Amino acid sequence: MSATPSESERAAVDEFLGAPSSGWAGGARSELDHHVALGGYHGAVETRHLLLPALQAVQGAIGWVSPGALNYVCERLSVPPAEAHGVASFYALLALEKRPPRVAHVCEDVSCRTRGGRELLAALSGRDDVVPSPCLGQCDRSPAVLLQRAGEPDLSLWGATPQNVIALLAGAPLIDPAPGHYGIPQSEYGSEQLRLLSRVGVVDPYSLDDYRAAGGYAGLARALEMGPKSIIEEVKRSGIRGRGGAAFPMGIKWEAVAGTSSERLLVCNADEAEPGTFKDRGLMEGDPFSLVESMTIAGYAIGASRSYLYIRGEYPRAARHVAGAIEDAKAAGLLGENVLGSGFNFDIEIRMGGGAYICGEETALFNSIEGYRGEPRQKPPFPTEAGLFGLPTIVNNVETLINLPLILLEGGDAYASLGTAESTGIKLFCMSGDIALPGVYEVEFGTTLRQLIEMAGGPIEDIAATLLGGVAGSFVGPDLLDLPLTFEDTKAAGVSLGTAVVMPFGVSTDFEDLAMRIAAFFRDESCGQCVPCRVGTVRQEEALHRIFAGAPLDGVAGEFELLSEINDAMRLGSICGLGHTAGSAIRSLMELGLIGGTP
Ligand SMILES: Cc1cc2nc3c(=O)[nH]c(=O)nc-3n(C[C@H](O)[C@H](O)[C@H](O)COP(=O)(O)O)c2cc1C
Ligand code: SF4
Ligand code: FES
């Protein structure tokens, strides 16, 4: 394969970066932030941060990252080819081998595999344009498929059948499979109880007028009246904690950068790759202006004029909707220079992920934006001291941010009066698995697991165990069905709310198959940077394989002991949360006696 770029390979890169002769001004990135002349964590300057978007542009245009195109990107961005290859090979959505122009990524993860995913993959087996995929964030409509298409926008498909996947692969025209589907059950659209989801499925996500008529932008107006200090005070009073999994108090994090004198940045984390999680997708698809408004409020409060929205690559529709909202908000003076005549300037730049779960970890996300492999950084320094491009950075999850208008309009105390003392406010839960009505459900903290499952239409068969918090969380038995879903109650029960995944599995579930899938997920997604996680995730999978193949090395009890030791090594010795939690779901299945028989 030639490493000399062909005309079409050059054209694909030039279309994105601008023709070499025209400097940086001519390409799709005409507002190029090559002015990001910041040293960053790695000390590299200026253009390196364009590496991933440039590779994505090549992938989108010609269907793979050919050696010629890779070399031309390197030439244009002054990045050594070996480095760029290291980055390109990190991301599952970038192909370094030539492949068909349309490829279907078929979800084989925890929810889909028990609900038609395995059968779909079997029906499509042997095709070179079908690849198995980790969770695509559409667990409510299994089986889920993402179609990557050279020269055309990517397409999410849910409730897929072999027939429609084959037709789309053959080039059948795009029919948006469910234009009115945003993750929440249609029966919930417009329900009076909803606050965060009140507009989802009700407003046209492309209409700023609709958004404003439904109360949109009242929060920003209030914020500009209040001023940054009072906003942070109100956020602290609300007691809100982050919804991205780590549950850190939002106001305390914000205060840490508000006191710094240098430029600071806001990053909204919309990577959402934890299997079973799809709430942020629903918010961005169904109510994109609310994220734009909320990010603007956050930027104003912390004193940031630039922000990045990192959306997982598997969410093309969410990215389209938010990009449209950003454009419309700018045209209406609600974003950009001098927001609503206040003198405050604020911009949002969308960056797409490349198919790597670890890039949801905030420091891995910084490296990804900066054009490096998405490997987590050692902390300290914490992002609030030295984050993206080495600047103080606030990272917040989509759902966390979307609470802001509510907190400002109703007051921090009113928000804190909802939920419990330690888990204040309202929460979105992602319900899938063996339940009648999968979807995102909005409740106050303190609602029990049983109540949530009932809201979602109840189980479709007797529940053997429920996966709580995602595959980084754990399975809980029916004895915990009355557990109030709060940070404190889950902690006391030795489990975690994580990303608010609630996935019940019935008594006929093959838990050994699920355990193998979870082990394979962590083995695949470990970035490989630190030994306990890189080796531990492989050893964990091997031990399970031996047990389930009926060939344990030292009896099942011996393998269980080994698995416990591996889990401890990963939990205690890994750099980041992926390693810390890579053994927890499997350990919980062992403790519940759902795998391995009697040790
Ligand atoms: C392996 C891993 C994956 C993560 N993925 C996400 C994610 O997809 N979205 C997210 O908001 N937070 C994710 N986080 C948590 C982030 O590091 C960070 O805590 C969060 O974005 C902060 O926002 P919040 O305070 O609003 O929750 C992940 C953490 C780890 C360890
Ligand atoms: S714990 Fe795993 S994912 Fe995290 S840095 Fe180490 S190897 Fe990478
Ligand atoms: S989309 Fe398949 S498990 Fe989430």
Mean pLDDT (whole number) for 378-401: 97
Pairing verdict, β 474-476 and 463-468: antiparallel
pLDDT at position 470, please?
97
Is the pLDDT confidence value at 179 over 60? no
Residue 389 pLDDT: 96
394 strand-pairing partners: 266
Separation of alpha carbons 140 and 137, rounded Å: 8
Torsional class of 199: left (φ above 0), alpha (ψ -120 to 50), beta (otherwise):
alpha
Centroid of ligand 1 to alpha carbon of 273 (angstroms) = 10
Ligand closest to the CA atom of residue 533 = 2
Tokens of 159: 């409730």
b vs e for 373-399, b when ≥16 Cβ sit within 10 Å of the residue's Cβ? bbbbbeeeeebbebbbbbbbbbbbbbb
Whether ligand 2 lies within 6 angstroms of the CB of 358 is answered as yes
Tokens of 273: 């790759």
CA of 247 from ligand 3 middle (Å) equals: 24
CA of 577 to the centre of ligand 2 (A): 8
The pLDDT score that the predictor gives to residue 599 is 47
Give the residue, by CA position, lying nearest to ligand 1 atom 1.
578
Supply the pLDDT for residue 258: 83
Structure tokens at 258: 């508000």
The response to whether residue 273 sits with its C-beta less than 6 Å from ligand 3 reads no
pLDDT at 174 > cutoff 90 = no
Find the 28 Cα to ligand 2 centroid distance in Å.
35
Model confidence at 405, in pLDDT bands (50, 70, 90)? very high
Kindly indicate the confidence band of residue 20, based on its pLDDT and cuts at 50, 70 and 90: confident
Say which range, 23-27, 224-228, 306-310, 575-579, has the weakest mean pLDDT: 23-27
Q: Judge if the beta carbon of residue 156 lies within 6 A of ligand 3.
A: no
Beta carbon of 111 within 6 Å of any ligand 3 atom: yes
Q: From the alpha carbon of 363, which atom of ligand 1 is closest?
A: 17
Give the three-class secondary structure for 559: helix
DSSP 378: P
CB 390 within 8 A of CB 369: no
Ligand 1: centre distance to CA 32 (Å) = 27
Q: Using CA positions, which residue lies closest to atom 5 of ligand 1?
A: 360
pLDDT at position 177 is 54
Top pLDDT among 264 and 192 is at: 264
Question: pLDDT-derived band of residue 42, with 50, 70 and 90 as boundaries?
Answer: low
Nearest CA to ligand 2 atom 6: 530
Pocket of ligand 1 (CB under 6 A): 242-246, 248, 269, 271-274, 358, 360-362, 395-397, 400, 576-578
Mean pLDDT of 516-538: 98
Q: Report yes or no: 563 and 587 within 8 Å, Cβ to Cβ.
A: yes
CB-hemisphere CA count at 13 Å for 178?
A: 19
How many angstroms is it from 580 CA to the middle of ligand 3? 22
pLDDT for 584 beyond 70: yes
Question: Residue 342 is encoded by which pair of tokens?
Answer: 């206040």
Rounded mean pLDDT, 473-491: 98
Cβ 135 under 6 angstroms from ligand 3 = yes
Ligand 3 centroid to residue 276 C-alpha, Å: 6
Residue to substitute in 106, 107, 314 for testing ligand 3 pocket (most ligand atoms within 8 angstroms of CB): 107
CB 367 near ligand 2, within 6 Å: no
Q: How far is 414 from 408, CA to CA, in rounded Å?
A: 10
Type and span of the H or E element at 331: helix 316-331
Q: Give dist(CA 125, CA 136) in Å, integer.
A: 19
For residue 120, the CA-to-ligand 3 centroid distance in Å is: 13
Q: What is the pLDDT of residue 187?
A: 80
Residues of the chain above pLDDT 70, percent = 94
Mean per-residue pLDDT, 76-96 = 97
Q: What is the pLDDT of residues 234-245, one digit of tens each?
A: 999 999 999 999
Say if ligand 2 is within 6 A of residue 578 CB: yes
Centre of ligand 1 from the C-alpha of residue 499, in Å? 9
Which tens digit of pLDDT belongs to each residue from 283-298? 999 999 999 999 999 9
What pLDDT band is residue 175 in, cutting at 50, 70 and 90?
low
As a whole number of Å, the end-to-end CA separation of the chain is: 53
Rg (CA), the chain: 23
29 versus 7: the higher-pLDDT residue is 7
Pick the atom of ligand 3 nearest to 133's CA: 2
Give pTM, 2 decimals: 0.96
Of the candidates 471, 587, 582, the residue with the CA atom closest to the CA atom of residue 537? 582
The closest-lying atom of ligand 2 relative to the alpha carbon of residue 376 is 5
Q: Which helix (H) or strand (E) holds 410?
A: helix 404-410
Q: Which ligand is nearest to the CA of 115?
A: 3
pLDDT higher than threshold 50 for residue 33: no
- Is pLDDT at 208 greater than 60 in this prediction? yes
The average confidence (pLDDT) of the chain is: 93
* Maximum average pLDDT range among 148-162, 177-191, 253-267, 307-321: 307-321
Q: Any idea which of 123-132, 156-165, 351-360, 396-405 has the lowest mean pLDDT?
A: 156-165
pLDDT band at 38 (very low <50, low <70, confident <90, very high): low
Contacts of 9 (CB under 8 A, 6+ apart): 58, 62, 66, 68, 69, 72
Strand duo 306-311 + 265-270: pairing: parallel
Question: Tokens in use for 294?
Answer: 């909320």
Percent of the chain with pLDDT over 90: 87
Q: Which ligand has the shortest distance to the CA of 246?
A: 1
Distance 362 CA to ligand 1 centre (A): 6
The half-sphere exposure of 206 on its side-chain side, counting CA atoms within 13 A, is: 4
Question: Using CA atoms, how far apart are residues 450 and 481, in angstroms rounded to an integer?
Answer: 5
Q: What is the DSSP letter of 476?
A: E
With a 6 Å cutoff on the Cβ, whether 110 touches ligand 3 is yes
Dihedral angle computed from the Cα positions of residues 292, 294, 297 and 299, in that order, rounded to the nearest 10 degrees: -70
Tokens 């507002």 correspond to 31
Question: Ligand 2 atom closest to Cα of 525?
Answer: 3
- pLDDT recorded at residue 19: 78
CA-to-CA dists, residue 268 to 198, 299, 569, angstroms: 21, 11, 32
Q: How far is CA 491 from CA 89, 424, 431, 488, 497, in A?
A: 38, 15, 20, 5, 8
Pocket test for ligand 2, best of 359, 529, 531, 568 (most atoms within 8 A of CB): 529
pLDDT at 26: 43
